[in-house]
Structures are given as C-alpha cells and as structure tokens.
Amino acid sequence: MADASPQRWLALTGISILSFVVFIDFTIVNTILPGIQRELHASVDDLQWVMNAFILMMTVFMVTMGRLGDIYGRRLVFYAGVIVFALASFLAGTSGSPEFLIGCRFLQGIAGAVVVTLGAALTTHHFPEEEQGRALAIFMSITGFGLAIGPLLGGMFVSLLSWRWAFYVNVPVVIIGFLISLRTVEETPRQKDEKVDWIGLILLTPGMSALVTFIMKGNNWGWDATATILCGVAAVVFLVAFVLVERRVSSPIVDFNLLKHRHYLAVCVMALTLGGFIVLGNFLAPLYLQTVRNEEPYIAGMMLLPISALVVIVPPLIGGLADRIGPMRFIVAGQVFLALAAFVQIFFDPASPVLFVLFGFGLFGFGWGLQQATSAMAATSALPKAAAGLAIGMLYTVWNFGSSVSLAVGGLIFEELDKRSLTNSIAQENITLSAKDQELVRSVLSDPSQAQKILGELTPGLEDKLLPIFRDSFMDGYGGAMWYLLATCALGAILVPLIAGKSRPAADSA
C-alpha cells in the first residue's frame, strides 16, 4: 500500500495539468485543419498524417516510455517528456510547410507517450490504496476534459487568432503545471530489474508506419503498385516478427498474457472501437460543419459542445455507481450509444436541423463519457494490483492502435465514396469540364475545406451546378465512414459482454 503524500492533491493537480495539454492535442487539431490547409496548402493525405503521426507515435512508444520511467524514475522521465512536448508544440506553431508540421507531430507523439503513461502512474504513486481509485478518476476526468474541449478551443483560435495558437497555447499551460508540480510531485524508486524492449520497439515502429501508409496511400498509389505492395509486405513481416518477439522477452511492449484475463480482453475490445470513434468522428465532424454547412470555426466549435460537455459531466455522475455494480455494464452501454451516434450521423445532410446534428453529437459524447469514466477502473480491476500500471499503459496502446487504424480505414472509405459519388454525379448531369475545370475538381477532392474558393475559380456558371453536387458527394463519404463506425461499435457491443462473461473482475485477478 502506498503511503499518503502530504501534498498529494497539489501533486495530482500539477500532474493533471501537465497531462491535460497532451490530451487536448488529440482533438484540438481537428477544428484547425481547414486553417492548416489554407495556409500551408496541405492535402487531405497531409492532414491525415498531421493527426496520425501523433497517434502513431503514441501507439508505438507508450509502454516503452513507461519502462523508462520505471528504470530512471517516473518524475524525471515525465518532466523530460513534458519539456520535449512543449518544445515540439512551439515548433509546430512556427511551421512553414506540411512536412515540418508532420515532423513536429511525430515528436509530440513520442513526448506525449511519456506524459500520458507516467501521468497515470505518478498519480497512483502519491495516494494510499484506498484513495487511488478516486485520484485516478479525477485524473481521467481532467484529461478527458482536455479531449472534449479541444475542438472548441481549436475553433476559437482559428476564428480569433490563428491555427498556430492551438500549439502555442501548450507552452504557458506547461509552465503553470510545472509551477504547481515541481515541489509537490515525488520521485519514484528506480527499478533496476526492469528492461526496455528495444527489439520490440525497432519492429513495432516500422510495422505500424507501414500498415498505416498501406491503408492511407494504397488507393492513391494503386493497390497493385510496387510501393503499396512493399508497404503491405513490410507491415506483415515487421508486425508478425513483433508478435513473436513479444512472446519471448521479459519486459514486452505488449504483454499478450494480459489478454488471458477475460475482463481485460473485453476492455481492450472497447478501447479499439472507442479510440477509433473518437479520432475519426472528431476528424470528420468539423469538416462537415465548416465545409458542408459553411459554419464559422467558432460556431463549429460550439456545435461540438455536446460532445465536450457530456464527456466532462458523465464520469463524476456514474463513478460511485460503477464502484457498486461494476464498470462493465457502463462499457457495454457506451458501445451501444456510440453505435447509435454513428447511426444518427449517417442521416446527416447539408441542411440537417441544428437540433438533429446536436443530438447525434450528444449521443457520441454520452457513449464516450460512459467509457471514459469506467475504462481505467475496468482495466485495473481485471488484473492483480501489481499489474495496474502495465494494464493502463497497454490499454492506452490498444486505444491508440484503434485510433490510428480507424482514421486510416475510415479516411479511405470517406475519400473513395466522396470521389466516386462526385464523378458519377458529374457524368449523370452531363456536365462538361475543360482541362482546367477538371484540375480544379481534383483539387476539391484533395482539399474539401477549400471547396467554396476552388469552385469559385471554375468556368462561369459551373459553380452553381457543382457546389450542391460536391456537398452531396461529401455526405456520401461521411455516411460511409459512419457506417464503418456503426459496424465496429455494434460488433464491440456484442463482443464485450460475450468475452467478459458473467464472472466479476475480481475472479480474474485473484
């Protein structure tokens, strides 16, 4: 049992603030993507990499950074991660090209893996066993608020200042967090028997990168293109080798033995689908609001508030109830509400009533809130207490893996259906395009947020014909992506209770 730190609540505040900025970066980028496109002339592929570079590095490095914290001291490594994250954020704000911004996002992801993993571990270190659940719930609630408030902040920055402030703002928040935590956060004992799985890291990094590149670029390159095939083969080779290695090393990045615990496996299934919905849903929703509905960025941010508000409100309301009846029922309910959210959003169109749009986003926020509140509790209660840190680290890794793959697959579905629908509609309307007009239409497909501007450069008379077609085509792609999320969440709602069974988690952790 951990001893109570005399300044534990101040320590929790400082740790939560420093972790808060990383969680904001999961979602704040979504509403600034149009600003990035306009200023840096970024393509849709560039935008996907702006998001996926961050998530990919979080996926690859999370457990490894947890190991480094065990070996060298969690506070030391945590502070190093926060400093690198703040520096990478500042550099991202100065970006003059999509490539430089993507590089900064890779660096942010590596540093973010440190902060997220060790933030949770440091939280439990400062509290006795009987207070750890409450402290962890507060930590998850604050960081969850960061996830939820990101789109609103992004919209405000784009409208009032610049998309660059979505990155600059991390620096003063980090300074505030440091001022609170420097004298209150205690160092953890170094565990010299722990080892870093460097071989696993060397295999996982190119394996995941090749997999995401294969999914994202295969449609553009051609599925039979040499580059696509090489990426696919590399993904299989590296990831199969990774699995084989992880089963043999003493301190694996992914401990597959944890998946033998049925409740933990069920929570991981939830994490795959929730992570996918959060990232893909938050990627497409701002584009729908700003590109199709032509809302101002700050209005788009306000329309996303039902998501933000419910992710913040729901966890404290159900925390005590989850303690009494167990978290698994809330996890299953969250899956159902996410499936309903996807189903409702399938029927979005350019003129959908505002209340209908808010209802769809509200279902998303409620399902997310139910699972945000109970995922860490379910993961840790499913295993022996000594494995709590590893359980959370691996849960986040699975979550990020689902996010990265879902963004790639869902983005591919959206792009293909959008392109096919636009091409077919132009043919059906017998619209003749000059070579210049054809190039402009291709530009719209690669940069949907610029539709109004690009279509305005068409031959006079074509804009009025093509703009409604473009909006309908966009919604065809959006609907396809929502069908994908509906399928994954509905499958999760079925699999989670089947895998967990009827036994209590304590039975697995005995």
Query: Per-residue pLDDT tens for 126-170?
Result: 676 666 666 766 776 677 677 667 777 777 787 788 889 889 988
Whether residue 351 is predicted with pLDDT greater than 50 in this model: the reply is yes
pLDDT of residue 510: 37
| Rounded Cα distance, 117 and 396, in Å | 8
- Within 8 A by CB and 6+ apart from 334, the residues are 270, 274, 367, 368, 369, 370, 371, 374
Place of tokens 């009533």: 353
| Rounded Cα distance, 298 and 67, in Å | 41
> Mean pLDDT over all residues of the chain?
78
Ranges of H-type helices in 347-461: 354-381, 388-428, 435-446, 451-455
The whole-angstrom distance between residue 283's C-alpha and the CA centroid of its chain comes to 9
The average pLDDT across 312-321 equals 73
Pair 18, 178: CB distance under 8 Å: yes
pLDDT of residue 282: 75
Pair 55, 65: CB distance under 8 Å: no
| Rounded Cα distance, 148 and 1, in Å | 33
Q: End-to-end distance of the chain based on CA atoms, in angstroms?
A: 17
| Rounded Cα distance, 312 and 230, in Å | 44
Whether residue 110 is predicted with pLDDT greater than 60 in this model: the reply is yes
Instruction: Region of 294 please: left (phi>0), alpha (psi -120 to 50) or beta.
Output: left
Instruction: Specify the DSSP class assigned to residue 289.
Output: I
Whether residue 116 is predicted with pLDDT greater than 50 in this model: the reply is yes
Task: Identify the sign of the CA torsion 455, 456, 462, 465.
Answer: positive
The average pLDDT across 427-433 equals 69
At 60-99, the pLDDT tens digits run 776 677 677 777 777 888 888 889 999 999 999 998 888 8
Query: How does residue 241 score in pLDDT terms, banded at 50, 70 and 90?
Result: very high
Whether residue 320 is predicted with pLDDT greater than 50 in this model: the reply is yes
At 437-478, the pLDDT tens digits run 555 555 555 445 455 555 555 555 665 667 777 888 888 889
Compute and round to an integer the Cα radius of gyration of the chain: 23
At 8-60, the pLDDT tens digits run 778 888 888 888 888 787 777 767 877 787 788 777 667 777 877 887 777 67
